[in-house]
Amino acid sequence: MALLASLGKYRNTGLLITRIGLGIMFMLHGYPKLLGGPEKWEAIGGAMKYAGIDFLPVVWGLLAAATETFGGFLILLGLAFRPVCLLLTFTMAIAATMHLNNNEDIMAASQAIEMGFVFLGLAFVGPGTISVDKK
């Protein structure tokens, strides 16, 4: 639509808005998990069994919580953007797999699936010029 075509010149502003929104939401989503302690981490890390990894669930859970919390912060800043996007894509893939293997329907896994696709796409696009990475 020609009316909205001029918004294309604000691509970097759009990426900034996306990074701020996703970064804040993932920090808020991951922080309670990070503070949950070993019991919470073990429950979260137990999802790795669906990827064929059944050792050290506490460590995997801590890594997932840290990835969501600190990864959200790095997404917000646009720092180490592409590696963080790939880590979050992996985290979301495991979360979606867990939901689907727990006899939940696709709607229970939909948020993780959607966020996985968002982070995978952002890994290709990059953080934009209004970021610490500035690429």
pLDDT digits (tens, 9 = 90+) for 34-58: 999 999 999 999 999 999 999 999 9
Look at residues 22, 33, 17 and name the one whose alpha carbon lies nearest to residue 115: 22
Q: How far apart are the first and last CA of the chain?
A: 28
Q: How far apart are CA 72 and CA 87, in angstroms?
A: 11
Map out the domains of the chain as residue ranges. Answer: 32-125
Backbone angles phi, psi at 60, to 5 degrees: -60, -40
The whole-model pTM stands at 0.92
Show the CA angle centred on residue 77, arms to residues 133 and 7, nearest 5°.
80
Can you give the C-alpha Rg of the chain in angstroms?
16
